[in-house]
């Protein structure tokens, strides 16, 4: 029942991560999520740069997983976030959760992503044909994280 | 002395990633911020923006939090990872 947290420039393999998550005999469920760089509504994204706060990032992510373990019975949890310059369709983030049962695995994965979006010190800068712009935080992300506090 | 870091859009607008500033044992985040503005009056609009978040030693804090010499403070915009 380990926790693996990685902040890295390199890409990751969902298949390899799944193999690591699927090795516990006590866990009958593995949920994985991968977030990708997607095209803007206007369709002019060249690339994206992910900046973070080294030190704080790892601490916040570890704390999110610890909070998830306080709410659900979980096995292995793997959380990967890439930083640096990423191209369209590149993988950005991975969360994988093993648990005895599917409900806990689904919910914990969602919980971790919802809080990562509002708590982990990452910032996206989009590079478009018109110039570079820092992405604005979304109210919908804040609302998703806040909703867990009412549970 | 307190180390202060800025990130992302805030770092770009202030044209400063990191600096050291004198501190007193009973300082709060608000007092450190006030001292930053005394040294850099042109930072007023960006640093007083209500959306700016603050962390002390890698943990989110509010303006009333105590700051001690040797602490690391960071100011940054709302986060947009994931």
Which residue from A17, A2, A3, A1 is spatially nearest to A93, judged by alpha carbons?
Answer: A17
Contact A135 B79 (CB under 8 A): no
Contact B7 A123 (CB under 8 A): yes
For chain A, 151 residues long, give each residue's pLDDT as a single digit of tens: 799 999 999 999 999 999 999 999 999 999 999 999 998 877 799 899 999 999 999 999 999 999 999 999 999 999 999 999 999 999 999 999 999 999 999 999 999 999 999 999 999 999 998 899 999 989 899 999 999 987 7
Q: Say how many CA atoms lie within 13 Å of A130 toward its Cβ.
A: 6
**Strand-pair partners of B55:** B60, B74
Domain A3-135 has CATH 3.40.50.300: no
Report the C-alpha gap between A144 and B1 in whole angstroms: 39
ipTM: 0.95
Domain ranges of chain B: 2-76
Contact A122 B82 (CB under 8 A): yes
CATH number of B2-76: 3.10.20.30
Q: Which residues of A touch B5 (CB under 8 A)?
A: 53
């Amino acid at each position: 029942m380990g926790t693996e947290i990685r902040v890295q420039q390199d890409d990751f393999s969902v298949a390899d991560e799944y193999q690591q998550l699927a090795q516990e005999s006590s866990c009958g469920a593995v949920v994985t999520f991968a977030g990708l760089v997607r095209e803007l509504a206007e369709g002019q994204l060249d690339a994206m740069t992910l900046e973070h706060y080294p030190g704080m990032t790892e601490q916040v992510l570890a704390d999110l997983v610890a909070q998830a373990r306080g709410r659900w019975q979980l096995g292995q949890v793997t959380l990967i976030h890439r930083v640096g310059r990423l191209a369209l369709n590149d993988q950005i983030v991975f969360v994988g959760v093993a648990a005895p049962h599917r409900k806990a695995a689904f919910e914990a994965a969602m919980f971790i992503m919802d809080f990562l979006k509002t708590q982990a010190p990452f910032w996206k800068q989009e590079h478009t044909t018109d110039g570079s712009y820092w992405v604005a935080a979304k109210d919908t992300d804040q609302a998703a994280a806040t909703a867990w506090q009412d549970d | 002395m307190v180390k202060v870091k800025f990130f992302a859009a805030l770092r770009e607008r202030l044209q400063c990633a990191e600096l050291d500033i004198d501190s007193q044992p009973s300082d709060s985040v608000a007092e450190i911020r006030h001292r930053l503005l005394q040294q850099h009056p042109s930072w007023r609009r960006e640093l007083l923006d209500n959306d700016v978040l603050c962390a002390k030693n890698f943990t989110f804090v509010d303006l009333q939090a105590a700051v001690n010499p040797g602490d690391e403070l960071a100011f940054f915009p709302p986060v947009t990872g994931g």
